[in-house]
């Protein structure tokens, strides 16, 4: 054995070992007991470990039940780690507490698949009477929990979950003439009611963005409205996209905002005591104006649709509308494209020119003799 005593008096071993796969490795070491026999024993032990390493024992995580995983692992970790908005956390909590844990809570995570999910969906539809969009949201929460379980190695793989198709919801908008009637009726109520409805019609603001708007967000010098935040159920946070958005200030809106300047607080639209408005109060203002104008009652969000629709009618480019609306993808904005002047009808009529110049005729060789 190539063991030897070094000049410092210590016994050491040094050797090149050929492994079963043909690879050569150099080993060396110093035994705890400073003797030749101890050095030789230490050398033999390392050779044996290199040639026949002990099988790695992989400790596999126990697959927890859905409720245990959610209560002890997922809920305390996930929402805060991805900075979910309070309204999003509240929605997920409702999905888990009312729909998912009562049905899936006792099941191990790896048993949530196939028939189990179909039974869940049937209950959501029949017993809970949820609409397809709500069912999709509940399954979306379930999907997010299971994805986290896979990422955190509590689950070996992602089970197949159904993809739920939801029809695009119908939406309404006011024509320019109808919008004028609503604004005229709103003005008979007060300048502030008029300004709040005009603001939505001239900026496309979401209700939460308008409620959270502060005077510092209105740049009269640059003639620009800056959307920095949104209010949802009393909580003020970033806009839906998480980004600031700028919309030019129209002359009409500028005059309306200057007419309602107040000292009740920093919010532009607020109650008499300066506290924040509620979405229901915005709807009351709009519905009252619609009734006085003799028009159908529309949702506040339909004022946002009206903003985009009227821009499209005036042939404003779709990408520009997308920017002012704050849509993350142009797909959302394309729903207004059909309102643009012509909507391509003038282009497709180009086919007529060819048809008129070359009327369809049966070629002589195609005629059949009788």
Report domain extents, the chain: 3-51, 66-151, 176-339
Query: Is there a contact between 239 and 209 (Cβ–Cβ < 8 Å)?
Result: yes
- Report pLDDT digits (tens) over 48-75: 888 876 655 455 667 899 999 999 999 9
260-306 confidence digits (pLDDT tens): 999 999 999 999 999 999 999 999 999 999 999 999 999 999 999 99
The predicted structure's pLDDT at residue 189? 96
**DSSP per-residue string spanning 74-129:** IHHHHHHHTT--HHHHHHHHHIIIIIIHHHHTTSBGGG-STHHHHHHHHHHHHTS-
Q: With the C-alpha atoms ordered 105, 108, 109, 113, is the resulting torsion angle positive or negative?
A: negative
Instruction: Report the candidate in 247, 188, 187, 183 with the shortest Cα–Cα distance to residue 213.
Output: 247
CB 250 within 8 A of CB 226: no
Tell me how far apart the alpha carbons of residues 140 and 90 are, in angstroms, rounded to a whole number.
Answer: 14
Ranges under pLDDT 70 in the chain: 1, 53-61, 343-350, 352-370
213 CB contacts (<8 Å, ≥6 apart)? 199, 205, 225, 227, 267, 268, 269
Residue 181, CB-side half-sphere exposure with 13 Å CA sphere = 15
Token representation of residue 77: 């970790």
Q: What is the structure's pLDDT at 368?
A: 43
176-339: CATH topology is hpI Integrase; Chain A (1.10.443)
């Amino acid at each position: 054995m190539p063991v030897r005593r070094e000049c410092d008096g210590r016994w050491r071993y040094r050797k090149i070992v050929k492994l079963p796969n043909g690879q050569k490795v150099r080993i060396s070491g110093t035994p705890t007991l400073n003797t030749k026999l101890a050095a030789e024993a230490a050398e033999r032990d390392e050779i044996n470990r290199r040639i026949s390493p002990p099988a790695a024992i992989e400790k596999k995580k126990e697959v927890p039940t859905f409720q245990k995983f959610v209560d002890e692992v997922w809920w305390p970790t996930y929402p805060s780690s991805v900075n979910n908005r309070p309204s999003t956390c509240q929605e997920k909590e409702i999905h888990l507490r009312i729909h998912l844990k009562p049905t899936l809570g006792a099941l191990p995570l790896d048993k949530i698949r196939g028939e189990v999910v179909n039974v869940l969906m049937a209950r959501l539809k029949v017993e809970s009477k949820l609409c397809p969009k709500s069912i999709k949201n509940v399954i979306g929460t379930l999907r997010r929990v299971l994805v986290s379980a896979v990422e955190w190695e509590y689950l070996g793989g992602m089970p197949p979950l159904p993809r739920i198709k939801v029809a695009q919801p119908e939406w309404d908008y006011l024509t320019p003439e109808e919008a004028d009637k609503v604004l005229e009726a709103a003005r008979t109520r007060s300048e502030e009611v008029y300004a709040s409805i005009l603001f939505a019609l001239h900026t496309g603001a979401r209700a939460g963005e308008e409620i959270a708007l502060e005077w510092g967000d209105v740049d009269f010098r640059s003639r620009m409205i800056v959307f920095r935040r949104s209010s949802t159920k009393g909580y003020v946070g970033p806009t839906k996209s998480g980004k600031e958005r700028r919309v030019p200030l129209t002359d009409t809106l500028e005059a309306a905002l200057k007419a309602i300047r107040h000292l009740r607080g920093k919010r532009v639209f607020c109650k008499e005591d300066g506290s924040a408005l509620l979405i229901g109060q915005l709807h009351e203002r709009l519905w009252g104006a619609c009734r006085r104008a003799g028009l159908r009652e529309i949702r506040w969000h339909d004022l946002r649709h009206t903003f985009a629709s009227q821009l499209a009618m005036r042939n404003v480019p779709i990408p520009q509308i997308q920017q002012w609306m704050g849509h993350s993808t142009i797909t959302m904005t394309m729903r207004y494209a059909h309102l643009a002047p012509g909507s391509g009808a003038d282009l497709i009529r180009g086919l007529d020119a060819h048809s008129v110049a070359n009327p369809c005729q049966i070629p002589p060789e195609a005629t059949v003799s009788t």
